[in-house]
Amino acid sequence: MQPLETIDESDLGISAQARAMPDLDRMLDQLARRSGPPLPGLLDIGCGMGALTVRMGHRLGIERLIGVDCDLDRLAAAAGRGLETHALDLEQDPIPVASGSVGLVTCFGVLAYLSLYDQVLAETARVLEDGGFFLFSMPNLASHQNRLAILFGYQPSQVDVSSPFRGAGTLRRRPLNRQGMPPLLHAATLRCMKELLDLYGFDVEIVRGFSPRPFHNPALRRAASHLPSLSRRFLILARKRPSA
């Protein structure tokens, strides 16, 4: 029987972050150095089947693990891994977690599937304790690939305009296989997310760029991590400012 935190092929198929674990592990190590004692709880927004949530909880010594998602089958798998689970419409529903009760909220790759980010960001700020952490990743609208695509008149790769014909107008010419995931509605630039986080009461502490298909060349990997505004995706660790 596999350990509960084992990342398997099903997890890799739905999570770009799971395909870039070294980048996440480096960020978690830096988070551990900043947070001190074990955090009071971890809320994973868009937890999927929960393997990544359990892995982060074990790495950071967090006992209470909460997962929210809209997919009932994935939530059942997450519950089997020991998560407290809740089925939600992330754009409409409040998260059934007490205000100021968790120390870490994570959200990997989910925001780009939403029409607006406000509900997730507002609920994240509400459930976090003062000084709590928000760790998330998402596609970068201003990646070097998208900048080149727009320059030559192509559609950015993280802005789908059709569900049955995903990737229409982009540089990609192979069919996309996202294992039943909905269309990516829109990504955002790093500058945009920094400004939005500030408006919701967060201070950005660390930013790291990465690719869900890691470069084999170490120099390219280092360049992607140190140039997050141009990378395909970015990881952000932000901290909630104390209430006035």
C-alpha 154 chain-centroid distance: 26
* pLDDT at residue 176 is higher than 60: no
- Does this model's pTM top 0.85? My answer is yes
CB neighbour list of residue 36: distance below 8 Å, 6 or more residues apart = none
Q: pLDDT confidence of 107, banded at 50, 70, 90?
A: very high
pLDDT given for residue 214 in this prediction:
58
Contact (Cβ atoms closer than 8 angstroms) between residue 171 and residue 157? yes
pLDDT given for residue 215 in this prediction:
52
* pLDDT at residue 192 is higher than 80: yes
Distance CA 166, CA 161 (A): 7
pLDDT given for residue 1 in this prediction:
42
Greatest Cα pair distance in the chain: 51
**Which amino acid is present at 187?**
A
Short-list 115, 137, 128, CA closest to 43? 128
Q: pLDDT confidence of 235, banded at 50, 70, 90?
A: very high
Q: Look over the chain and give the mean of its residue pLDDT values, rounded to a whole number.
A: 86
DSSP sequence for 143-205: -HHHHHHHHTTPPPTT--S-STTTTTTSS--SPP--TTPPP----B-HHHHHHHHHHTTEEEE
Short-list 7, 12, 8, CA closest to 179? 12
pLDDT given for residue 2 in this prediction:
47
* pLDDT at residue 5 is higher than 80: no
User: Which position has the higher pLDDT, 178 or 104?
Assistant: 104
Contact (Cβ atoms closer than 8 angstroms) between residue 205 and residue 237? yes
Give exposure, 184-222, as e/b (b: 16+ Cβ within 10 Å): bebbbebeebbeebeebbbebebbbbbbbeeeeeeeebe
Distance CA 88, CA 72 (A): 10
pLDDT in tens, 137-174: 999 999 988 999 999 999 888 888 888 887 888 887 66
pLDDT in tens, 23-73: 888 999 999 998 888 899 999 999 999 999 999 999 999 999 999 999 999
pLDDT given for residue 177 in this prediction:
53
Task: Return the structure tokens found at 52.
Answer: 């990544």
CB neighbour list of residue 197: distance below 8 Å, 6 or more residues apart = 121, 134, 203, 204, 236, 238
Tell me the pairing of strands 233-240 and 128-139.
antiparallel
**pLDDT-wise least confident of 107-121, 137-151, 209-223:** 209-223
**pLDDT-wise least confident of 18-32, 72-86, 133-147, 214-228:** 214-228
pLDDT given for residue 181 in this prediction:
67
Query: At which residue do the structure tokens 């997310």 appear?
Result: 193
* pLDDT at residue 221 is higher than 90: no
